[in-house]
Structure formats: structure tokens, C-alpha cells
Amino acid sequence: MDGEAISRAITRIAHEILETNKGAGNLAFVGIVTRGATLAETLASKVGGIEGAEVPVGTLDISFYRDDLATRLSPEVHRTDIPFDVEGRDVVLVDDVLFTGRTIRSAMDALMDYGRPRSIQLAVLVDRGHRELPIRADYVGKNVPSSAKERVKVYFESTDGRDAVEILEAAEGGGQ
Amino acid sequence: MLSTRHIIDVEDLTLEDLMQILDTAESFKEVNERRIKKLPTLRGRTIVNLFLEPSTRTRTSFEIAAKRLSADGINFAASASATVKGESLVDTAETLSAMACDLVIVRHKYAGSPRMLAEHMDAHIINGGDGMHQHPTQALLDLFTMRERLGHLEGLTVGIVGDIAHSRVAGSLVPALRMVGARPIVIGPPTLMPARPDILGAEVSYTLDDVLPELDVAYMLRIQMERAEGQPFPSVREYSRLWGMNEARLSAMKPDAIVMHPGPMNRGVEISSAVADSPRAVVLDQVNAGVAVRMAAMYLLLGGDASGAAA
């Protein structure tokens, strides 16, 4: 995917979110660090632009909720910042790549510790398959069939200097 | 993940370890501000508080930290334990080891006992204060508070005032400050200085008033009546007049300088009540940071553990 394809996908997702939720009134976005957070910002400003309203955005670090903590430690823990009350809101979780679903499981647990949202929806730029948990995305930028050994990498202008989605030949470990 | 299995001396940590603990603690501090102050992170891990010397605040702080990480915390207090029945420390260690504990926080009146425990146990050890030697998590929470209030650590001038000879707080804080590039000065009467203050690695001053204007932090140590042998100063009143922090001394310091104290405070001795309650005293920030820093130390010692070679 190049920059234009990404931008079109995000615009389409923004419209889908508004259609499903019948407006932005009760919406909030929560991005999973680090690239999900960038994507959440972009989505929120798109949705806000269409509706002419400010939509709250938060960021979530799931390091403390991982299920593989016993064998793996996140090298760097980022700050979680949810500057709004999640109680009763329709929260759209945002991540760049949906893979095993384990990150999303952790993110839902983390989010629940802040309160009881009315609903949690999931938006991802890329769904690459290989789910290990019964989790699916509500909004998908692009389905990218990939081998479990490959890596799918998302780049954003603001953090990486360009917008792109690339499939890389796997080094070891797999990852996203 | 840290480069060490245990935190017994500050010197067990590399600068990178130390900064990683402080940075991770920032995230845990956010958790402590939530309505639901609990994470599932260390579920199923067992943490033993082996406190063989009286302590309320440090033990409580470790206990809260363990609970907020969902670890199972067990208190093993001196008065209730087998030690009063004459069990040796090594036997206690081996007993705890046989019960498969993951982490032991140990406080003991003799320096070096945490190191000895580490040699007889598979568990990770955090030193919660050993005799007159070290109290590393205190130094970590102090650095956290300084960085939070003053924005940086490098280049800070920190005066540690009082009973340097008997203080394990100073024993950990001086090397920790040196690691992060700060400038420690130990300040106190010669009778409360160790025999060779010059080998501490800090500058030494025998008057408080001379160095006050240089300080970014005045760290007031508690006068430990229980550890002072003989009579190191003529009277508490004289100590307070020469070495105590009061409003006049506070105004002689830089306008943004802060006053710290490891607690519990002797109001009217090393710190006046007016200063203790002023916004420039950060004593409660230190207590608050203590929980976050200890959560970070536990998380970083126990996380990634099962991958084997944890060294």
C-alpha cells in the first residue's frame, strides 16, 4: 500500500465508523502504541472533520497486560493516556496490523480497567490473518494474506517520514 | 529487562537499568492515579516480604506495589517468624526457597544479609535496607522524585545532611547520584561522618550554611536515636540549630530548590514543621513515587524470567 491507498482506506473507515455509530456524538478513539496511536489521531481528525466535532483520542500501552510476560518483556513501556471517561462510550480501538489477536485481547482488558464502555469496536489498517483468538476487526483498511513467517510493517509520515505498508521477508521471531 | 537478577546494592544496576526502572515507574505512576489501581501483570507470582527489622512504611510500600501487580504477597515479620525461635537466616532462606517464592524483599539489621540470602535461594532478591549499608529502592524513588520536580538529574547538586555514618539511605543515594551525573555533597558534624568520608565518592562539608546556596536538593536525613552510639552531639536543640532545615535556611537556597526526607520525620529536629508542610518539601511525592518505583523494580526483575538465562 502506498500513501494514497492508505489515505483512501482511512477516509473510508472514517465514514464506516460514522455510519455504524450514527454520528460521532458518543465516539472515542483509543490507539495502541505506537503506530495504532498515530493512526487513531488521523482517524479522529478525519471523523471530526466530517462531523465538525472534536472526537476524544487516547493512547494505550499494553505491556502490563501481555500474556507472554513470563517469556518476553517489552523493551520500552510507553505512557498510557486516556484523557476521557470511557464509561458508557463507544470506543474504537485502533491498531496498525491485526495478526494473532493477542494484542487486542490485552488492549480490551486494559481498557476495561478504566471503566465500562458501551461498546468496543476494532479498526485496523491491515488484517494479515493468522488469528489465535476469536477476535475480528469491525473496520479493515486492507486484507493482506501473508505467510506467518513474513513481517507486515506499517510506516507513517509523522513517525517514519513516509506512508506505506510493506511485507518483509521474515527475520526470526515473526512479530507483526 | 535488567542486567541483574537482584537489586541489593545500587552498584548492581547499570546506568541503563537505573533509567529503565525510572522510565517504567512513570507508567506505573499513571496506574496509581486510576480508579482501579490494579494490573494483571504478575499474576501467580509469589513475593515475600522478609522484614527482620521493624518497618512500616517501606514494608507497606512493597506490599501495595505487589498487590497492584496482582502478585501474591506474603509478610514474614520478625516477631512472628521462626527467627525468634533461633532459626538461622540461611535456614529461613532455604525454607522460603522450598516453598518456591519468586521474589524476596529483605530487610535486616546486618549489612550483607541480602547478599547471603541471594546465594542460598533461587528467588530474586530486593534489598529493603540492610544495616548501615544500603537501601537501593529508596535511592531510586529519590531520583524519580528529583527528576519529576526538577526535570533532570545530570548536574544537580544534592546536599545530604545529617547522620552520614549510620545512614543506608546515604549509602545508596551517593553512588546512585554519581551514576546519573549529579554532584552529591555529604554534610554533617564530624561525629556523624564515617571514619573516611573521602572514600564515599561525595564532596564533604562540615557546615551546612556554606553550601546551602549551591544546592538544588537538600536531603535531610533522620536523626536515628536507635543507631547513635555515645553522644554524637550535645543536644537535640543544638543539632537542630546547626543542621536542621528551617525557613531561614530554605530562603537561603535557590528559589526552585527542594527539600527531601526519607521519613519518618522528626519535626523540629532535622526539619522544622513549617518547612515540612511547605510546597518545597516533597516528602509525600517521595512516598508516592516509592510505590511506582517498586512496582517497576518487581516488574523488570520478574518479567521475562521464564526464558531461562535471566542474567
Q: What is the ipTM of this complex?
A: 0.76
**Size of the A and B interface in Cβ pairs below 8 Å:** 50
Percent of chain B with pLDDT over 70: 94
Asked if B30 reaches chain A (Cβ–Cβ under 8 Å), the answer is: yes
Domains of chain B (ranges, CATH numbers): 10-134+288-307 (3.40.50.1370), 136-282 (3.40.50.1370)
Tell me the chain B residues in contact with residue A73 when contact means C-beta distances shorter than 8 Å: 1, 300, 303-304
Mutation target vs A (from B26, B27, B43; most A CBs, 10 A cutoff): B27
A78 contacts B27? CB cut-off 8 A: yes
For chain B, how big is the Rg over CA atoms in Å? Answer: 19
In the structure, what pLDDT confidence band is assigned to residue A173 with cuts at 50, 70 and 90?
very low
**What is the pLDDT at residue B228?**
61
**What is the pLDDT at residue B80?**
60
**What is the pLDDT at residue B82?**
63
d(CA B117, CA B111): 12
**What is the pLDDT at residue A175?**
46
Residue A153: which domain range?
3-66+80-168
Evaluate if residue B151 carries a pLDDT over 50: yes
Tell me the chain A residues in contact with residue B42 when contact means C-beta distances shorter than 8 Å: 69
**What is the pLDDT at residue A95?**
95
What average pLDDT does the segment B110-119 reach?
93
Q: Whole-prediction pTM value?
A: 0.88
Evaluate if residue A176 carries a pLDDT over 70: no
Tell me the chain A residues in contact with residue B5 when contact means C-beta distances shorter than 8 Å: none
**What is the pLDDT at residue B229?**
66
Burial readout A79-109 (b: 16 or more C-beta within 10 A, e: otherwise): ebebeeebeebbbbbbbbbbbbbbbbbbbbe
**What is the pLDDT at residue B78?**
67
In the structure, what pLDDT confidence band is assigned to residue B309 with cuts at 50, 70 and 90?
very low
Asked if B27 reaches chain A (Cβ–Cβ under 8 Å), the answer is: yes
- Residue A73 falls inside a structural domain: no
Question: B34-67: per-residue pLDDT in tens?
Answer: 888 999 999 999 999 999 888 889 999 999 999 9
Mean of the per-residue pLDDT values of chain A: 90
d(CA B164, CA B193): 5
Give me the residues paired with residue A155 across strands.
Answer: A164
Distance from the Cα of A109 to chain B's closest Cα (Å) equals 9
The dihedrals phi and psi of A31, each to the nearest 5 degrees, come to -100, 140
- Residue A175 falls inside a structural domain: no
Nearest to B158 by CA among B257, B252, B293: B257
Mutation target vs B (from A71, A73, A78; most B CBs, 10 A cutoff): A73
What average pLDDT does the segment B202-226 reach?
93
Question: B215-246: per-residue pLDDT in tens?
Answer: 999 999 999 876 666 788 888 899 999 999 99
Asked if B26 reaches chain A (Cβ–Cβ under 8 Å), the answer is: yes
Give the one of A70, A77, A115 whose C-beta lies nearest to B27's C-beta.
A77
Asked if B43 reaches chain A (Cβ–Cβ under 8 Å), the answer is: no
d(CA B192, CA B215): 21
- Residue A72 falls inside a structural domain: no
**What is the pLDDT at residue B79?**
65
Evaluate if residue A33 carries a pLDDT over 70: yes
A114 contacts B34? CB cut-off 8 A: yes
Question: B19-36: per-residue pLDDT in tens?
Answer: 999 999 999 998 898 888
What average pLDDT does the segment B256-282 reach?
96
CB neighbour list of residue A8: distance below 8 Å, 6 or more residues apart: none
d(CA B224, CA B163): 8
Asked if B304 reaches chain A (Cβ–Cβ under 8 Å), the answer is: yes
**What is the pLDDT at residue A174?**
43
CB atoms within 10 A of CB B293: 29
- Residue A108 falls inside a structural domain: yes
A113 contacts B299? CB cut-off 8 A: no
Tell me the chain B residues in contact with residue A70 when contact means C-beta distances shorter than 8 Å: 303-307
Tell me the chain B residues in contact with residue A109 when contact means C-beta distances shorter than 8 Å: 40
Question: A99-139: per-residue pLDDT in tens?
Answer: 999 999 999 999 999 999 999 999 999 999 999 999 999 99
Question: B66-101: per-residue pLDDT in tens?
Answer: 999 999 998 887 666 666 677 788 888 888 889 899
The domain total for chain A is: 1
A113 contacts B39? CB cut-off 8 A: yes
Distance from the Cα of B263 to chain A's closest Cα (Å) equals 29
Mutation target vs A (from B299, B300, B301; most A CBs, 10 A cutoff): B299
- Residue A74 falls inside a structural domain: no
Evaluate if residue A79 carries a pLDDT over 70: yes
CATH no. for residue A99?
3.40.50.2020
- Residue A109 falls inside a structural domain: yes
